[in-house]
């Protein structure tokens, strides 16, 4: 069985000779024409009657899509989903969208142009082509111009084609056989690719390693967190003992509070609740009670703790007779100083919170011991 022919190819000395040969072979209509030249030859496209590249249209469509994508994306984020006023501007200001729209248009358009040309129109990635095995491929990348007539549907009259090529001025003619099987990927190409990938990894790794080692890593940006102020537990280079936290000076008083002077509860008996008994105050008191007292004294302040028996202490039943007309100053004292198993909690509250929880405690007692007149 005769070997099937992929194409017959003629080599020409000059681009002009190639250009002159194209119409003559085209007229013979022996097969599909293909040219291999070391650089783009002006006028070859028209001579071969290649179709107009659709790339321009593709780029246009994708460019417009890019514009719209960026517009909708930004509009959705900035004006609809998470409107943030920056610089006193309306979050939907179109002016701020334009640079990104421009960039994304260019991005979409260039990617379409590059990838569309390489992948769609140039049929890449192709690691191998029958032409690459020919003798002609060695010179057609240097200073010769090759014109090939390729078989259409496997049929090619090789003798007629070589005669026609010779007649058209080809210096030499070569026949390229049809490859035995479609060698899409050659071993060499794969090995080459793997080697290139490995080399790239090594290079990138070395770059990262030495890059980070030799050049000081600068913080990419400093947030508001980075401030000369000293935070808790931070060392200080200013103080000789290099402690950042200092004990307050003698007699210093925290903002918004005066030191509590009493040690005995009867000293505090005379303190009067400065807060009015308004809904707002009771609401605050309820919050403080639920968050701080309820766990030990129970929701009704009747000494039934939510804590398990493992707690061990016996919280006072504040609904008992003793506490119904207990002076408010003494409750205040308990909050500030604690009592036996009751911890001193007052330092965690503001003055208002201490007195508000007392109001709330009184309201709880009243609720449990309501009189007929309360109804």
Partner 1 sequence: MISLMTVLGGLAAAGTFFAIGPERFWANWLVWSLMLLSVGLGALFLVALEHLCDARWSVPLRRTAERVSGLLVPACAALATALFSLKVLYPWARPEAAHIPAIAGKAAWLNIPFFSVRVLACVALWLLSWRVLAGSSAEQDLSCDAALSVRMRRFAPFFMAVMGLTTLVVSFDWVSSLEPEWYSDVMGVYLFAGSFLAGLAAVALAVCHLKGRGRLAELRFDHVYSLGGWLFAFTVFWSYIAFAQYMLMWYADLPEEVFWYAHRGHGAWRWVSLALAVTHFVIPFFALVPRDAKGDLDRLRWVAVLVLGAHFLDLYWLVFPVLGERPLFSWPELGFAAFFIGAALLWVRRSMKQGADMPVGDPFLEEGLAFKL
Could you list the residues that contact ligand HEC (CB under 6 A)?
Answer: 292-293, 295-297, 313-316, 318, 330-331, 334-335, 339-343, 345, 357, 361
Residue 308 touches which member of partner 1, ligand HEC, none, C-beta under 5-8 Å by kind: none
At residue 223's C-alpha, the angle toward residues 220 and 225, to 5°, is 135
- Using CA atoms, how far apart are residues 31 and 159, in angstroms rounded to an integer? 13
Pairwise CA distance, residues 136 & 108, whole Å: 39
Give yes or no for residue 89 binding partner 1 (CB under 8 A).
Answer: yes
Q: Is 152 helix (H, G, I), strand (E, B) or coil?
A: strand
The structure tokens 């493992």 sit at 310
140 vs 331, beta carbon nearer ligand HEC: 331
**Cβ distance 32 to 149 under 8 Å?**
yes
Q: What residue 292 binds from ligand HEC, partner 1, none (CB within 5 to 8 A, per partner kind)?
A: ligand HEC
Cβ nearer to ligand HEC, comparing 194 with 341: 341
The distance of closest approach from Cβ of residue 331 to ligand HEC in the complex, given in angstroms and rounded to an integer, is 4
Q: Of partner 1, ligand HEC, none, which one does residue 5 interact with (CB within 5 to 8 Å by kind)? A: none
Whichever of 17 and 345 has its CB closer to ligand HEC, that residue is 345
Closest CA to 12 of 125, 113, 111, 147: 147
Residues 90-109, one symbol each (x = binds partner 1 by CB under 8 A, - = not), give -----xx-xx----------
- Strand order across the beta sheet in which 32-36 lies: 32-36, 145-150, 5-12, 172-177
What's the CA gap between 208 and 198, in Å, rounded?
15
Question: Which of the listed partners (ligand HEC, partner 1, none) does 166 bind, with a CB threshold of 5 to 8 Å by partner kind?
Answer: none
Do residues 209 and 167 make contact, with C-beta atoms less than 8 angstroms apart? no
* Binding test (CB under 8 A) with partner 1, winner from 3, 29, 32, 43: 43
Smallest separation (angstroms) from ligand HEC to the CB of 312: 9
Query: CA-CA distance, 6 to 26, in Å (whole number)?
Result: 18
**Number of residues lying near partner 1 (CB under 8 A):** 11
56 binds partner 1 (CB under 8 A): yes
Nearer to ligand HEC, 22 or 331 (CB): 331
Instruction: Give the integer Cα–Cα distance in Å for 73 and 126.
Output: 36
Q: Is 87 near partner 1 (CB under 8 A)?
A: yes
Which of 89/369 has CB closer to partner 1? 89
- Measured between alpha carbons, how far is 31 from 8 in angstroms, rounded to an integer? 10
Residue 125 in contact with partner 1, rule: CB under 8 A: no
Matching residue, tokens 């040690």: 263
Residue with tokens 């491929």: 137
Which is it for the CA torsion 249, 251, 255, 261, positive or negative? positive
For ligand HEC, the closer CB: 13 or 347: 347
345 binds, among partner 1, ligand HEC, none (CB under 5 to 8 A by kind): ligand HEC
Q: Residue 281 or 293: which CB sits closer to ligand HEC? A: 293
Q: Which residue has the tokens 């290099």?
A: 242
CB of 38 to partner 1, least distance (A): 17
Q: Rule CB under 8 A: is residue 51 a binding residue for partner 1? A: no
Lookup result for tokens 């070997």: 3
CB nearer partner 1, residue 88 or residue 256: 88
Q: How far is the CB of 89 from partner 1 (least distance, A)?
A: 8
Token pair in block for residue 97: 């969208």
Question: Which residues are near partner 1 by CB under 8 A?
Answer: 42-43, 56, 60, 87-89, 95-96, 98-99
């Amino acid at each position: 069985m005769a070997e099937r022919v992929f194409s017959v190819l003629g080599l020409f000395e000059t681009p002009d000779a190639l250009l002159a040969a194209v119409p003559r072979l085209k007229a013979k209509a022996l097969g599909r024409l293909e040219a291999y030249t070391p650089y783009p030859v002006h006028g070859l496209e028209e001579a071969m009657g290649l179709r107009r590249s659709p790339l321009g249209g593709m780029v246009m469509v994708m460019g417009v899509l890019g514009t719209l994508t960026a517009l909708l994306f930004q509009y959705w984020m900035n004006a609809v989903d998470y409107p943030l006023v920056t610089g006193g501007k309306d979050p939907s200001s179109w002016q701020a969208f334009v640079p990104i729209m421009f960039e994304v248009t260019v991005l979409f358009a260039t990617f379409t142009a590059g990838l569309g040309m390489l992948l769609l129109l140039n049929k890449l990635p192709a690691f191998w082509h029958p032409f690459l095995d020919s003798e002609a491929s060695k010179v057609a990348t240097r200073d010769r111009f090759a014109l090939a007539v390729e078989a259409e549907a496997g049929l090619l009259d090789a003798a007629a084609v070589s005669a026609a090529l010779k007649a058209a001025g080809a210096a030499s003619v070569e026949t390229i056989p049809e490859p035995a099987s479609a060698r899409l990927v050659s071993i060499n190409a794969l090995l080459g690719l793997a080697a290139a990938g490995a080399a790239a990894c090594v290079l990138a790794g070395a770059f990262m390693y030495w890059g980070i080692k030799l050049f000081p890593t600068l913080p990419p940006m400093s947030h508001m967190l980075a401030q000369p102020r000293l935070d808790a537990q931070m060392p200080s280079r200013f103080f000789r003992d290099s402690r950042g936290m200092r004990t307050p000076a003698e007699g210093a008083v925290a903002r918004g509070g005066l030191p509590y002077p009493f040690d005995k509860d009867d000293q505090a008996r005379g303190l009067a609740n400065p807060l009015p008994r308004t809904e707002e105050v009771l609401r605050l008191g309820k919050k403080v009670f639920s968050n701080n007292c309820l766990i030990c004294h129970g929701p009704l302040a009747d000494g039934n703790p939510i804590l398990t028996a493992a707690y061990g202490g016996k919280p006072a039943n504040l609904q008992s007779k003793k506490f119904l007309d207990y002076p408010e100053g003494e409750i205040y004292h308990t909050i500030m100083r604690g009592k036996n198993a009751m911890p001193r909690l007052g330092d965690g509250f503001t003055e208002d919170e201490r007195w508000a929880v007392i109001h709330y405690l009184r309201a709880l007692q009243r609720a449990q011991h309501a009189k007929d007149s309360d109804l």
